[in-house]
Amino acid sequence: MPVPNPSPLPPLEEVLAALHVVRLPLTVRFRGVTEREAVILAGPREHAEFSPFLEYGDAEAAAWLRCALEAGWHGFPDPLRTEIPVNATVPAVAPDAVESVLARYGPGGPHTVKVKVAERGQTLHDDVARLAEVRRLAPSAALRVDANGGWGHDEALTALEALAGFGLQYAEQPVPGVVPLAELRAELVRRGLPVPIAADEAVRKEADPLAVARLGAADVIVIKAQPLGGVRAALDIVAAAGLPAVVSSALDTSVGTRVGAALAAALPALPYACGLGTVALFGEDVTADRYVPRNGSLDLRRIAADPELLQRHRAPAERRAWWAERVRRCHERLVNAASPAVQADAPK
Annotated binding site: 146, 172, 200
Angle between the N-to-C axes of helices 231-241 and 254-266, in degrees from 0 to 180, rounded to the nearest 10: 40
| Amino acid in position 53 | F
Phi and psi, residue 128, nearest 5° = -60, -45
Task: State which H helix or E strand residue 336 sits in.
Answer: helix 317-338
Burial (CB count within 10 angstroms: exposed 0-12, middle 13-18, buried 19+), residue 346 = exposed
**What is d(CA 275, CA 141) in angstroms, rounded to the nearest whole number?**
14
Sign of CA dihedral 314, 320, 323, 329: positive
Residue 224 annotated to the active site: yes
Q: Which residues are annotated as a binding site for Mg(2+)?
A: 146, 172, 200
Contact in structure between 202 and 218 (CB atoms under 8 Å): yes
Long-range CB pairs of 31-38, under 8 A, 24+ apart, other chains included: 31/251, 36/251, 36/253, 36/282, 37/315, 37/319, 37/323, 38/252, 38/253, 38/256, 38/286
**What is d(CA 195, CA 176) in angstroms, rounded to the nearest whole number?**
17
Q: Rounded to the nearest 10 degrees, how much is the dihedral formed by the CA atoms of 307, 312, 315, 317?
A: 90
**What is d(CA 263, CA 299) in angstroms, rounded to the nearest whole number?**
13
Residue 348 annotated to the active site: no
Beta-sheet pairing, 245-247 with 220-223: parallel
Active site residues: 116, 224
